[in-house]
């Protein structure tokens, strides 16, 4: 009986921690899904600095046509591997070495 009184709380804590780990693992499922949507508008991106960009009309100087809007930078499809950020949104454009002038 003394053994249960000594070790009981420790065993209970271990069981609760394991249960929490299992529950959070199942609740956090779906991390492997990619969300790639067509762009909401027909536009091109003009890079300002690094990956920051603005959306412009494709008739204006630009760095590439927006191919997709994604949830994260690593979700860009193979045909448009370069990502740019416009505010908090991620857009994918074809990788281009030099800016495209006038679409």
Is 6 contained in some domain? no
Is 20 contained in some domain? no
3 or 46, greater pLDDT: 46
Is 101 contained in some domain? no
Domain with 48, as residue range(s), is 36-93
The number of distinct structural domains making up the chain is 1
Convert the pLDDT of each residue in 58-91 to its tens digit. Answer: 999 999 999 988 988 788 888 889 999 999 899 9
Is 86 contained in some domain? yes
Q: Could you tell me where the DSSP H helices lie in the chain?
A: 2-27
Distance, in Å, from the CA atom of 65 to the CA atom of 39, rounded to the nearest integer, reads 10
Convert the pLDDT of each residue in 36-65 to its tens digit. Answer: 666 666 889 999 999 999 999 999 999 999
Is 4 contained in some domain? no
Is 85 contained in some domain? yes
Tally the C-alpha atoms within 13 A of residue 6's C-alpha that lie toward its C-beta. Answer: 3
Is 59 contained in some domain? yes
Is 61 contained in some domain? yes
């Amino acid at each position: 009986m003394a053994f249960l009184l000594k070790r009981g709380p420790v065993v209970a804590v271990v069981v609760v921690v394991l249960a929490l780990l299992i529950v959070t693992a199942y609740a956090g499922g779906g991390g492997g899904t990619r969300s790639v949507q067509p762009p909401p508008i027909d536009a091109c991106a003009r890079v300002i600095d690094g990956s920051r960009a603005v959306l412009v009309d494709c008739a204006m100087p630009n760095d590439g046509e927006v191919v997709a809007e994604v949830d994260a930078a690593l979700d860009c499809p193979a045909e448009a591997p370069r990502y740019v950020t416009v505010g908090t949104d991620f857009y994918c454009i074809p990788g281009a070495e030099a800016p495209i002038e006038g679409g």
